[in-house]
Amino acid sequence: MSMAYAEALQTALAAEHAALYVYGALGAQTSQSGAPTLFAALTDAYDAHRARRDQLVAILTDLGEQPVPAEPVYELPKNLDSTDAVTARALEIERSCASTYAYLVANSPAPERRLAVNLLIQTAVRELAFRGTPETLPGSDEYADR
């Protein structure tokens, strides 16, 4: 296993830890009765990110790597006083994760690249639930200079 691949997996895992933390806070700012569509999208996103986190931990463990732990605390967004604000923050999380998965795609050996591509696609599709727009190359911005 290359160091670049291990680093990319650890970067993706760190992003999933952060996404889960923030999604928990976003979920607390909405309600199933007050904004059922947003609440369902946040719940689905949380569940998807938890499954990805667990999958990345398993991959790293199988490769003999020590998975990066979650931070004790992450910075939470401010001004989440409307469904629009919560939606915008959820979209930011998905875009950030898409960039992370684009980085994983770029640093994955050929046999493992299919999984990385699928994770990127899932994240790009999830952006649509939070008013994102389809992109030709999702996630290509943040890690372009690496």
Closest CA to 90 of 54, 41, 136: 41
Residue 141 structure tokens: 């911005």
- The answer to whether position 141 is within a domain reads no
| End-to-end CA, the chain | 19
- The answer to whether position 135 is within a domain reads no
pLDDT in tens, 33-89: 999 999 999 999 999 999 999 999 999 999 999 999 999 999 988 889 899 999 999
Closest CA to 122 of 12, 8, 18, 17: 12
pLDDT in tens, 109-136: 998 999 999 999 999 999 999 988 877 6
Mean pLDDT of 5-19: 97
- The answer to whether position 110 is within a domain reads yes
For residue 15, the enclosing domain spans: 3-71+78-129
- The answer to whether position 108 is within a domain reads yes
- The answer to whether position 67 is within a domain reads yes
The total of structural domains in the chain comes to 1
Q: Quick check: 65 and 10 in contact, CB under 8 A?
A: yes
CATH of the domain at 26: 1.20.1260.10
- The answer to whether position 30 is within a domain reads yes
